[in-house]
Amino acid sequence: MSLVKTLGHSLLSAMFISGGWHAFVNPDGRAQKVEQAGIPLARQATILNGAAMTLAGSALALDIAPKLASLVLIGTLVPTTYVGHAFWQEDAPASRAGQQIHFLKNLAMIGGLLMVLQEK
């Protein structure tokens, strides 16, 4: 793997490893949003999502099945983005803007993961 590819995978995976680990070990704040979205077993779903992000992010960083890892990360990021950063539900302009930035950041990460899927 080239230096640029290694660096790119590592940088892309850092957010998943960090955020996933925090969701795994301290799910309560995130689980509250998940529960409000009507998802059953919110705490368990949050822990599972965090574990998947941590493991798949680590796999991507280590170049272990990077395409599979990217698919898993996309699969975790879509519901996380929709539930966690629903900027359209925010009334306060500052909160709305902050959530919109996180929403767009997650879309950019999905874009990076799609690029990994196209690598040879």
* pLDDT score recorded for residue 66: 97
19-73 pLDDT, tens digit per residue, is 999 999 999 989 999 999 999 999 999 999 999 999 999 999 999 999 999 999 9
Cα separation, 23 vs 43, whole angstroms: 10
Cα separation, 17 vs 94, whole angstroms: 28
Strand, coil or helix: 118:
coil
> Rounded to two decimals, what is the model's pTM?
0.92
Q: What is the number of structural domains in the chain?
A: 1
Give me the domain span that covers residue 90: 3-117
1-19 pLDDT, tens digit per residue, is 699 999 999 999 999 999 9
> Please, which pLDDT band fits residue 120 given cuts at 50, 70 and 90?
confident
